[in-house]
Structure 1
Amino acid sequence: MTVTYVLDGSEITGLDSFWQAIGEAVNGPGGYFGRGLDAFADCLGGGFGTPENGAFVIEWRDHAHSARTLGHEETARRLERLLPRVHPTNRARVERELAEARAGRGPTLFDDLVEIITDRAGPGALRLV
């Protein structure tokens, strides 16, 4: 049996609210399901609320709203917070990504999250509605 987790995209106002919304969609009120891209990817592998056999779907409702709120502006905000802590060998890459995000170009956080779900949970695990 496939479990469906409903993510209400109309409630997402930025990355922090995404972490709260996905945590609650999977694990109930106050639930945790990652608070960073790497932790989120790990959680999708199973054992953090989703079935170990991968039989689940994330139904992301009002994803168009989420795409806007997790767009270039929020992407730039995340990269600005990340930049002071990034390893020196990655600094130039993060600075380029930040410049692109500020210019409204390149992948957004929404794009990254969709890619992570698709890569880690498999094809068909994400339903954008």
Structure 2
Amino acid sequence: MNFKVIIVDCSGVTSEDEFWEAYVRDVNSPHPGFGRNFDAFADSLLGGPGAPVANEVRFVGTASLEALRQGRFLALLKDLAHDAPDTRITFE
């Protein structure tokens, strides 16, 4: 089995819509119908639409996400990622 890492580049992201665009672009999931919100992200980590087909997903350039919802956006992403059963999720 090959170890696959997906890099989601968040550098320069200034809105939630831009974040979800980066996620969909970089994960390149074969599953259609990803909802581009926290519920959809949580579902994707359990294998639903938008699921990353990888052993690890690295969100890089996440300093730009600190401005979204006064830091709560990134905090919620981290909380949801913590519970991902099959994929290691990191934020750099």
From the CA coordinates, give the structure whose radius of gyration is larger: 1
- Report the TM-score when normalising by structure 2: 0.75
CA-CA distance at 1:71 after TM superposition: 3.6
Gaps of 5+ in 2: none
State the partner residue of 2:88. 125
Q: 1:38 to 1:123 in 2, by over 3 A?
A: same
Instruction: Say which structure is richer in helix.
Output: 1
Report 1:79-118 matches (<5 A).
108-118=72-82
Describe the superposition over 1:47-99 as per-residue Cα deviations: whole angstroms up to 9, x where unpaired: 53434xxx52111111112223x242xxxxxxxxxxxxxxxxxxxxxxxxxxx
How many residues are treated as equivalent by the alignment? Answer: 88
2:17 matched residue in structure 1: 16
With normalisation by structure 1, the TM-score equals 0.56
Structure 1 outlier segments of 4+, above 2 Å? 31-34, 47-51
State the superposition RMSD in angstroms.
Answer: 2.6
Structure ranking higher on relative contact order (CA contacts 8 Å, 6+ apart): 2
Provide the identity percentage: 30
